[in-house]
Structures are given as C-alpha cells and as structure tokens.
C-alpha cells in the first residue's frame, strides 16, 4: 500500500491513527456519558455535543495560522499532541464536577486545534504540488484515520462494559468504565506523540522545505488566480457543512436511535449477537477499511478509460449518497423507530452506515487533497484550517438540529437531513465548472 510513497507517509499514517483512536474512543461514549453520569436531557447534551465538536473543528484555523506564520507544522503538532494527551487524562479522573468536565473539554479543543489541520498539511508537503501520488496519499492517510476510528468503539465498549467487571473480580476494585475508556484515549495520544517524534527524520526535511516555500510565497500565482482558488475553496467549504451536519449524527441521533429504537440482538448464520448502542460506530470505519480499495480501484479504472470524475464532482457524488443514506433512516423510523421501543432491525442502521461511508469516501479524503492542491502556498495551513472550520459549523449544526430528535418524529428529523444533502449535491453541480477550472489551474 505504501509502495512508491515516501516513508514519511507511514509515520503520519500511524501518528494520525493513534490520535483518531483517542478522539473516537472519547466520542463513542460522549453522549452516553452526559446522559448516564450527569443525567442531562437530550437538549442540554445536544448543545454540549454540538459546541464541543464545533470548537474542535474550528480551532484548526488558528492552529494552521500559527504553523504558517510562526512555528512550522511539526512543532505545532507536537504541542497539540501533548495538550490532547493531558485533556484525555483529565477526563479519566473519577467523579468530576461539571466545571471540571468543561475545562477538560476546553483543553481537548485547544490541543486538537494545534494538531488537526497541520498534520493534514504535512501529508501534502511530502509531495511536489503536481505529484500524481497526492490523491492516493490522502486515501492512504484517510485509512489511517479510520483504523483508529475502527478500534476506538471496540475499546470503548469493552472498557465501559466488561473491563470494570474483570477488575472487580480480580482485584476487588470498583472502577468506572467511562474513566477507563478516557484513560485509553490518553494512552493513544501518547503513542501518537512517540511515533511522530521518534521517526521525525522521515518527514522533517519536507516540512522545512515546504514551510520555507510558504514564507516566500511558494509557486507564484497572480492575484486573480489566488482569488479564484480561494473562492473555489469557500464554495466547497460551504457545501460540506451539510455533509458533516448529517454525518456527525453518528455520535448523537444515530446513537440515540441505536439506544432507544434498535433491537439489541441480531442473528447471523444461526448465531445471536448482542450489539450495544456505542458499538454501531464501529461500522463506519470498518466499511472504510473494506471499501477504500474498491472505491480507489473503481476510480482508477475510470481514469484509464478517461472517464474519472473530477475531485469536485466526487464531492458532489458524496453528497448525493449521503442523501440516500438518510432516506434509509426515514424508512427505519417509519418501520418502528418512531416508537422508541427497541423493535427495529439493526440492519436498517448498518445499511445507513454502509451508504454514508461510500459518500464519505467520495468526499472527505478528496476534500483534503483538493485543499492541498488548490490552496495558495503562503496560506496552506490556514486554508486547511478552513476545511475544518466548515466541519466545525457542520458539527455545531449536528448538535443544534439534534435537539429536535425527540421533539419531532424521527422520520421527519432524518428527512430534513436527507433533503439538505440532496440540495447540497445540486449546488455542487451548479458550481462544477468553476470548481474544475481552479483544479486544472493547479495541475497546469
């Protein structure tokens, strides 16, 4: 998989993998922790969930600016990883007050802001601007994200439900499973930091060269070209807001649907399996690991035929598939999910994760690659931060809209998400000519 790519890509792959393990371990239990530990209702937990994710993805804009202008990408990432580790460790402390909980979330927001956008920039910096390997590099990097995301719900479910029983049986000690899981997130960040620092020789030179290029303006482009590129990026940022608003219901509305509407058991080949609600979040990264070679191979086949869609067109396809994914949830709600009596087959929810994963593979890694290609060199970190600001707005809206999950019928709630995704697809198609022009300009 890494053949033909610089060794630095492997380093960044595993650095990001363990950082995402920490993030998704915490996120898998975030809503359930607020519900079961603090006893908050859906409205309050939805507000906290949305604000946390909004700030988590807004602060990379600041982190990218700091890296562009002052520290460089590596130093900024190192500081961010250290702060993230401290934030997860704070959550692992038993019996926190509500104020302490908010402080820990604020620490995580700061650390993520310094880390997230800059490691994505480092991936692009391993390659010359016109390298044909760059799209593939971001697909590989995205797999690293989802290896961590796949392992996280498994670890979170075990540490929350099983590990406390074993610890009590073996050592006679009462422990809180939530705190164990948050502690595991801190360990994941420690591993991420160690890998990033120990193997720095494989990426540090490209970081220095690209950072110096950015400081002197990099490849010269006209003011008109720069404006056109920034406009193209802003259009994409606006459109993907609605993807993230729908996608990040995985940690809120889809988790509540799993907790309240879906049967706990599923029978496969005569075996009955129990699926706790937090474990459904494992399906998205699992499908990414399975489907990435399929999607990459399919687009590679189309490329040989001269029919591969442009990067913006792939983003549009991703929005279209997202609309269909939430239509499945409309069907699930009408089939019994509206009653909140744990009567719906798990296959409805699993099918939704399958389709939305196809959409994600068309949208998210290609969005990162699009930013790396099109962003003016002197503000590449800032523009990569802009991608995450769009994610931040979508995440806030995920929580904002999520508060209506128990106010409206679930079928109506999921229909809203579906319609917005289809409208976003239409906006991509209307803007496709200008978006493609900005991309071709970079390739030329």
Against a cut of 0.85, is the pTM above it? no
Collapse the DSSP code of 268 into the 3-class scheme (helix H, G, I; strand E, B; otherwise coil) and give the result.
strand
Q: Nearest Cα to 431, choosing from 356, 368, 365, 370? A: 370
Alpha-carbon separation of residue 235 from 54, 56, 118, 432 (angstroms) = 19, 22, 22, 10
CATH superfamily of 7-443: MFS general substrate transporter like domains (1.20.1250.20)
Q: What is the pLDDT of residues 34-84, one digit of tens each?
A: 988 888 887 888 888 878 877 887 899 899 899 888 888 899 999 999 999
Give the pLDDT score at 329. Answer: 96
Q: Nearest Cα to 83, choosing from 188, 155, 161, 189? A: 189
Q: What is the pLDDT of residues 305-318, one digit of tens each?
A: 888 888 889 999 99
Angle, vertex CA 184, rays to CA 50 and CA 7, nearest 5? 95
pLDDT at 219 over 60: no
Q: What is the pLDDT of residues 93-115, one digit of tens each?
A: 988 899 999 999 999 999 999 99
């Amino acid at each position: 998989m890494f053949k033909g790519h610089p060794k630095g890509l492997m380093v960044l792959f595993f650095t990001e993998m363990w950082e995402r393990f920490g993030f998704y371990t915490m996120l898998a239990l975030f809503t359930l922790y607020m519900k079961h530990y603090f006893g908050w209702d859906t409205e309050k937990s939805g507000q906290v969930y949305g604000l946390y994710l909004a700030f988590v993805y807004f602060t990379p804009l600041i982190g990218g600016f700091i890296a562009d202008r002052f520290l460089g990408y590596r130093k900024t990432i190192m500081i961010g990883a250290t702060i993230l580790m401290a934030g997860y460790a704070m959550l692992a402390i038993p019996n926190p007050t509500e104020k302490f909980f908010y402080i820990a979330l604020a620490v995580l927001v700061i650390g993520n802001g310094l880390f997230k956008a800059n490691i994505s920039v480092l991936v692009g910096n391993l390659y010359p601007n016109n390298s044909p390997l760059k799209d593939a590099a971001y697909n590989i990097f995205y797999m690293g994200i989802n290896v961590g995301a796949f392992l996280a719900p498994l670890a979170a479910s075990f540490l929350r439900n099983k590990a406390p029983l074993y610890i009590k049986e073996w050592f006679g000690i009462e422990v809180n499973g939530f705190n164990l899981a948050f502690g595991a997130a801190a360990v994941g960040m420690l591993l991420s930091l160690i890998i990033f620092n120990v193997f720095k020789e494989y990426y540090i030179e490209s970081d220095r060269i690209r950072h110096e290029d950015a400081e002197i303006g990099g490849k010269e482009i006209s003011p008109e070209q720069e404006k056109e590129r920034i406009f193209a990026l802003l259009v994409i940022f606006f459109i993907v807001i609605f993807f993230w608003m729908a996608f990040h219901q995985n940690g809120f509305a889809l988790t509540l649907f799993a907790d309240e509407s879906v049967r706990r058991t599923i029978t496969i080949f005569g075996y009955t399996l129990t699926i706790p609600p937090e474990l459904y979040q494992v399906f998205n990264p699992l499908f990414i690991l399975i489907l990435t070679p399929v999607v990459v191979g399919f687009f590679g086949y189309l490329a040989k035929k001269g029919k591969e869609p442009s990067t913006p067109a792939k983003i549009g396809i991703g929005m279209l598939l997202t609309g269909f994914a939430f239509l499945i949830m409309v069907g699930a709600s009408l089939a019994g999910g509206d009653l909140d009596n744990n009567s719906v087959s798990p296959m409805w929810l699993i099918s939704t994760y399958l389709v939305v994963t196809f959409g994600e593979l068309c949208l998210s890694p290609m969005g990162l690659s699009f930013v790396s290609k099109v962003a003016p060199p002197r503000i590449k970190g800032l523009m990569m931060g802009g991608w995450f600001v769009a994610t931040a707005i979508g995440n806030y809206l995920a929580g904002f809209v999520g508060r209506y999950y128990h106010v409206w019928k679930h079928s109506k709630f999921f229909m809203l998400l579906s319609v917005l995704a289809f409208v976003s697809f239409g906006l991509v198609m209307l803007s496709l000519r200008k978006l493609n022009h900005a991309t071709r300009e970079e390739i030329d």
